[in-house]
Structure 1
Amino acid sequence: MRLKNQYIIEWKIRNYYSDFSFEKHLESVINDSQTLKEGEALEIHQVVFVGEFNKEKVYLIILNIVPEK
């Protein structure tokens, strides 16, 4: 969901594995779920753990939309 200059993404993780890379999967979720206009870039503002529901860990990812460098 895009609100003015931010994207808010809901991210659910069903299982953790011993070789799970939070950073790698976070990058993948961000790349797969947003569309930017020309000249825009993203920076992570906040990652919030919401809780665990039905054996899934739920996070909110808040991204700032900034001018591309």
Structure 2
Amino acid sequence: MPQGRKDDFVFYGEKTKCLVELFCQDNRIGKVFIEPHLKLRLQLTNSKIRFHGCQAVRHDDHIHVQLN
């Protein structure tokens, strides 16, 4: 997220939660990486949801999925 333009972007919590839950239901996906504050904010509880811990990139403006 370009911080200078963050007001130009809209966060769709309900749609994001639905997408993450769909990823978690798919047996081909092993892990879903997002920021911990989003996991709490969206009330996501699936064990596939993880924090990547990478210092190079944050995961609050995108989602990574790891295939099995």
For the criterion TM > 0.5, the same-fold answer is no
Higher helix share: 2
TM-score, length basis structure 1: 0.28
Structure with more contact order per residue of length (Cα contacts < 8 Å, sep ≥ 6): 1
More strand by share: 1
